[in-house]
């Protein structure tokens, strides 16, 4: 039934308190090392397409000795605040209260809690006790797009009440400044913290038409976590930009064809930016400058899963879409996630 098609009613976003410019990152690191940074590191930090980012804790925290329990406490405290802030904005924009929501999809890969964070929010925010909580872990940067598809599917299955999606990451608590190997430099150059919430239901807003994902099984080592002594340690390959053109592009072509769409039919796409070179590769493939994708990367860095929802919020802020819109995100698996929104 067409009136029960899942639609994106509203998006809300939230950031933690501590703002860092890329120049400040260089200065903080140089001060910690007691000498000027190598030119190579300055180049890495300067070529990301990022000007500023938000992180959960003040910079000095990240130079203290790391522990599992310490990181878990930071996650618990900061995540609860950001969840409530983003969810309240999204619900207010949709004209809803927490009690109106039937299901909460929660996406996060930088921390985990049991009971889950949405379970803890039932009483804190006033969701009904019979609200179903669906926490999703492990999707990393692809989680925002995959989570929106899951929320749309859950609404199709139970359309009596809207579904709330909350995508939240605290990438900064995985920083390791004690080693400063290449991987840690890249993490420091790219990643940030943020939270996005989306209300999926019937009514106004673009239709969440179709979602799909594709896993390349031979690429397990491209992105993810290793379990280290003090928490999650980043796994990140260098060749993701070239992978966009060689492997992701044909999969995305096939997805669009299945939706009876060509790239020329699309309005501005909402892509998870990854980093500057990844955006360039996506822009070349889509023949779209990806202005809002670049703006979110510039102002917020790579927040992992919520980033694509920040981009979607910016594109939709321009007004109702008049053409089909593509969402894309790449994450550990290695997985490519795709979605189409229609007017």
Q: Which residues are catalytic?
A: 141
The three-point CA angle 2-149-200 to 5° equals 55
Cβ atoms of 111 and 299 within 8 Å: the answer is no
């Amino acid at each position: 039934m067409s009136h029960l098609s899942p639609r994106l009613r509203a998006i809300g976003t939230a950031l933690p308190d501590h703002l860092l410019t890329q120049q400040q990152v260089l200065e903080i690191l140089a001060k910690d090392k007691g000498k000027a940074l190598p030119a190579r590191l300055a180049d890495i930090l300067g070529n990301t397409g990022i000007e500023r980012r938000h992180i959960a804790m003040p910079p000095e925290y990240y130079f203290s000795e790391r522990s599992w329990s310490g990181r878990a406490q930071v996650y618990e405290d900061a995540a609860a605040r950001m969840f409530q802030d983003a969810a309240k904005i999204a619900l207010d924009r949709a004209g809803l209260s927490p009690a109106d929501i039937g299901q909460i999809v929660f996406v996060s890969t930088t921390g985990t809690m049991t009971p889950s964070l949405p379970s803890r929010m039932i009483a804190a925010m006033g969701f009904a006790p019979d609200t179903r909580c669906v926490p999703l872990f492990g999707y990393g940067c692809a989680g925002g797009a995959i989570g929106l598809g899951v929320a749309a599917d859950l609404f199709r299955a139970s359309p009596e009440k809207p579904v709330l999606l909350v995508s939240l990451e605290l990438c900064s608590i995985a920083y390791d400044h004690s080693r400063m190997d290449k991987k840690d430099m890249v993490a420091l150059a790219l990643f940030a913290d943020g939270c996005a919430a989306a209300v999926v239901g019937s009514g106004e807003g673009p239709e969440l038409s179709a979602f799909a994902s594709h896993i390349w099984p031979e690429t397990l080592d491209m992105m993810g976590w290793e379990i280290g002594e003090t928490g999650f340690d980043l796994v990140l390959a260098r060749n993701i930009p070239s992978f966009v053109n060689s492997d992701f592009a044909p999969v995305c072509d096939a997805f669009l064809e299945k939706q009876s769409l060509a790239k020329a039919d699309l309005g501005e796409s909402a892509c998870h930016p990854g980093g500057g070179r990844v955006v360039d590769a996506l822009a070349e493939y889509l023949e779209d400058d990806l202005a809002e994708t670049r703006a979110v990367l510039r102002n917020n860095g790579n927040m992992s899963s919520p980033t694509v929802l920040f981009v979607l919020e910016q594109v939709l802020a321009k007004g109702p879409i008049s053409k089909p819109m593509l969402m894309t995100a790449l994450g550990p698996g290695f997985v490519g996630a795709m979605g189409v929104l229609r007017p």
